[in-house]
Amino acid sequence: MKKTNTEFIRYIPKSDLHVHLDGSLRLSTLIELAKKDGIELPSYTEKGLRDKVFKKQYASLGEYLQGFSYTTAVMRSWENIERIAYELGQDAIAEGVRYMEVRFAPQLHAGEQLSVADSVRAVAAGLTRARDEYNESSVVKEGQDIEFYFGIIVCAMRSFNAFMSPYYKGLIGGLSQFSKPEIFGLASQELARRVVKLVQEEKLPVVGFDLAGEEAGYPASDHKDAYEYVHKYFIRKTVHSGEAYGPESIFQAITRCFANRIGHGTHLFAEDMIKDRKVKDKKAYVENLANYLASERIGVEVCLTSNLQTLPEIKSVAKHPVREMIKRGLSVSICTDNRLVSNTNVSKELELLVKNIPLTHKEFKNIIIAGFKGAFFPGTYMDKRNFVRKVINRYDEMVQKYLD
């Protein structure tokens, strides 16, 4: 794009299809809740936490993940989770996000104070409050902007241990006769059943099922029964894959887990990461996989800053495989992953994209619209179509105002 500006990106309608609740707290809220709940932090000032925990650059993935031990510690009650979700909705709305899918692992927050189901209810309550406040405001009522909508994606974990949450501790203790992969799969199945029940009986806006956590050594196939279960009930599927493992992880996501979207997909083109000895022509394997994703419109949730922080082999945005994804016509959406941990928002991610990847105006618009078209929208197909039309009209209005 030869012609763009910060205001234009700020005011166009944006989506965020890949944002983790426990990685997107307000720093001030984390400090306040930690003090209230008696949770020890390395610092009780925002600057101190930025210096010690939530940095602009991280030395390793382990350092990046360190912050989650503090954020999840304050997410053990309905009150705290509802507030965190509400504030995330507010922050997204304030920067022009008009559709977002917030993902989190309910079992990671469940314990004596909070059930798995209640954690989902709390997230729904917080986001609903943010949505209703905005959609009932004069800005929307008078037609000065379009509405905000959201969906919830629940995450199963590829692996876990007893120290991650009271729920996991109890599960591991009660299923000691099973192997670890079997326990991980059973936890996913239990989550899948609870999710379907919440959607069917309470009509909660859970729009997707996800699989998060370490890829290498923890294949998605261990969780295929859970994915088959939600698939039967028409719940959409996404899988963290191709982030820390190669093309085979993406292939497994779409063939074993029926993935409608791929979380990250960063190593889609990494032929050297293919381990299966049966794959003789690695180049053809990658070509066929990329073409399949493109033709089937299986979306790729790209998180630029997060990838730069956790994958040292990617030296810059200009070297990020998103460039090749766009070139090949894949349905790419730009997402934040973790707003706090990665010190970012959607506007920043889009600015990173246009400053480092040569794009035409048409290509940029396609990326923006792809985020809305690829959404697991909590309504009918016609509801979604009507909303996407509003998005396109609003985008065109901003082009005339800021670029023409």
Quote the pLDDT of residue 312.
87
Residues acting as catalytic residues: 243
What does the alpha-carbon distance between residue 148 and residue 91 come to, in Å, rounded to a whole number?
A: 12
Task: Report in angstroms the alpha-carbon separations of 19 from 117, 152, 302, 359, 382.
Answer: 20, 10, 11, 24, 25
Chain mean pLDDT for the chain: 95
- CA nearest to 300, candidates 328, 274, 281, 319: 328
Quote the pLDDT of residue 302.
98
Topology of the domain comprising 6-402: TIM Barrel (3.20.20)
Residue 153 in contact with residue 109, Cβ under 8 Å?
no
Strand partners, 103: 20, 153
**Per-residue pLDDT tens over the stretch 275-321:** 988 999 999 999 999 999 999 999 999 999 999 999 988 999 999 99
pLDDT at 2 over 80: no
pLDDT at 40 over 90: yes
Position 243 confidence tier, pLDDT thresholds 50, 70, 90 = confident
Model confidence, pTM: 0.96
CA 301 to chain centre: 7
Does residue 299 sit in helix, strand or coil?
Answer: strand
pLDDT at 108 over 90: yes
What does the alpha-carbon distance between residue 21 and residue 373 come to, in Å, rounded to a whole number?
A: 22
**Per-residue pLDDT tens over the stretch 187-199:** 999 999 999 999 9
Quote the pLDDT of residue 1.
60
pLDDT at 336 over 60: yes
Task: Report in angstroms the alpha-carbon separations of 1 from 9, 86, 391, 398.
Answer: 12, 34, 20, 15
**Per-residue pLDDT tens over the stretch 112-152:** 889 999 999 999 999 999 999 999 999 999 999 999 999 99
